[in-house]
Structure 1
Amino acid sequence: MVMGAATLPHIYRSVDIDRFPKPPRNEAQRPEALAVTARVATIPVVLISAAALIRDCLARCLAAPDLNYTLHGYASVDEWHPADLAVPMTILLCATGDRATERAICDDIAKLKAKAPASRIIVLSDAEDAVLVRRAVEQGAQGFVGMTFNLDMAAAAIRLVQAGERFVPVTSLLAAQAAPMPASDKGALCQALTQRQIDVIDRLRRGESNKIIAYKLDMSESTVKIHIRNIMRKIKARNRTEVAILTKDLFD
């Protein structure tokens, strides 16, 4: 489900903990009752950001009574371990700038999915380019929240993702869908790549290893590696995932 940032808060509101029934007074002191109340009153969210100020500010903002999130902040993906929290996680993956956002999308989402396959990931970034938003979704993120959002909009987007839906800014989605690679660009890319390199890309996009590609195309594994390096240089990709993403339109 995709909704525009401007309309989302009017439909999905932050949960109001006062609507949950409170235990009777004589029961409220029991450990079991306190545990249940704690589970209802707070919603754990993991925030991964290299910027301590962003972590601290978001933790305080999202802990407000009308939002009732509990934020667990980490400086990097490697620092976080799923065992730290025993419930399915919603993860805010924060990055600032195009380069850091690309790195988060192309590398960190895969790491998070490997650590916690059931986690739901929301990219939080000031780089709201339509291509980056589309890449984030293709890599497995369930949401993308731009830093042009206000706190209520961001909280509503988190709620939506936690409910099992997807959220991306509708303007970014429409821009990405309306702007496929122009035919002239496809032609230029095809001219820049040799037929053998296109064959390698085709196998790579199927998820095959270098060894399998070498076998299927009847070449040595070292030749496959050379082809991939040259392909990455020509299309300005930094890894195999980016090669697959940037050449998607060639095989549509």
Structure 2
Amino acid sequence: MVNVLIVDDHSLMRRAVREVIEKEPGMCVVAEACNGHEAEVQAAETQPDVVLMDVDMPDCTGFEATERVLACSPHSRVVIFTSFHQEQLLFQAIQKGAMGYITKDIEPDALIHAIHCAARNDLCIPGALATQILTYLRSSWKMHAGYGGMLSSSISYRTPRRTAHITVSGESGLSDTTSTMPRPLTDREKQILDLMRKGRKNREIALELSIAESTVHKHVQNIFEKLHARNRTEAIYLTSVEG
């Protein structure tokens, strides 16, 4: 029996998901939660096999709630269940320990499949987003291991039962890697990068930090230059890997 906890701030969505799950033999919804705090409480009490976790909730994000749930129920597998088709959120989900990332326009059969995957401790990612991940992985590997270098790039994500590593090393020769090593960010740049992870645009960041939008743009360009990133997604991905 696969025991499932549904976390979503919309009762209608929880009801619809429950109906799909409870029609499946061998699956049971053991609890529901409408926010991160309630998810933590329910997870600690029921120790579910799989947690379907919404991202956009009133008290905390689904990523923060994922960390809380895994802290009190380490054998649970979290699947982010969201309406956002954004690869940067997928990277963040994996970094926080989620075993899957699916969107709310998914078909019922695909939802059941994702739950089964998580229960088996298999990573479940939509095809389009998986393709983007491979693109960035290959790009990162080429950046660090190019020119026959021996620099090893180790990529890891935390899961409830294991840590997976992907390592790529050059086989011969030595190279000077100083030019590709990222430079440290200032406190303001780190603050802006954190807001970028949350999907904020330059205008929204400027309003939140009470600074000019042109200043935000300059900081973002400095972040790209220091991290050797080509865009926001790559900057977020590279710092998630390093963190």
TM-score range, shorter-chain basis?
A: 0.5 to 0.7
Structure 2 counterpart SS, 1:128? coil
Shift of 1:248: 1.9
The letter for the 2-side match of 1:120 is R
From 14, 25, 29, the counterpart of 1:70: 29
Change (3 A) 1:75 1:112: same
Match of 1:207 in 2: none
From 57, 61, 84, the counterpart of 2:16: 57
From 71, 84, 96, the counterpart of 2:45: 84
**Distance (whole Å) between structure 1 residues aligned to residue 240 and residue 44 of structure 2:** 41
CA contact (8 A) 2:36 2:62 kept: no
TM-score (norm 2): 0.56
Q: Aligned pairs, how many?
A: 164
Higher strand share: 2
Change (3 A) 1:126 1:251: closer
CA contact (8 A) 1:55 1:73 kept: yes
From 43, 55, 61, the counterpart of 1:95: 55
CA contact (8 A) 2:44 2:72 kept: no
Change (3 A) 1:179 1:158: same
Greater C-alpha Rg: 1
CA contact (8 A) 2:91 2:240 kept: no
When the two chains are superposed, the root-mean-square deviation of aligned CA atoms in Å is 3.7
Shift of 1:69: 2.4
Which one scores higher on RCO, CA 8 angstroms, separation ≥ 6?
Answer: 1
Structure 2 counterpart SS, 1:72? strand
Structure 1 counterpart SS, 2:80? strand
- Percent identity for Structure 1 against Structure 2: 12
**Distance (whole Å) between structure 2 residues aligned to residue 155 and residue 69 of structure 1:** 12
CA contact (8 A) 1:122 1:143 kept: yes
The letter for the 1-side match of 2:93 is A
Shift of 1:179: 4.2
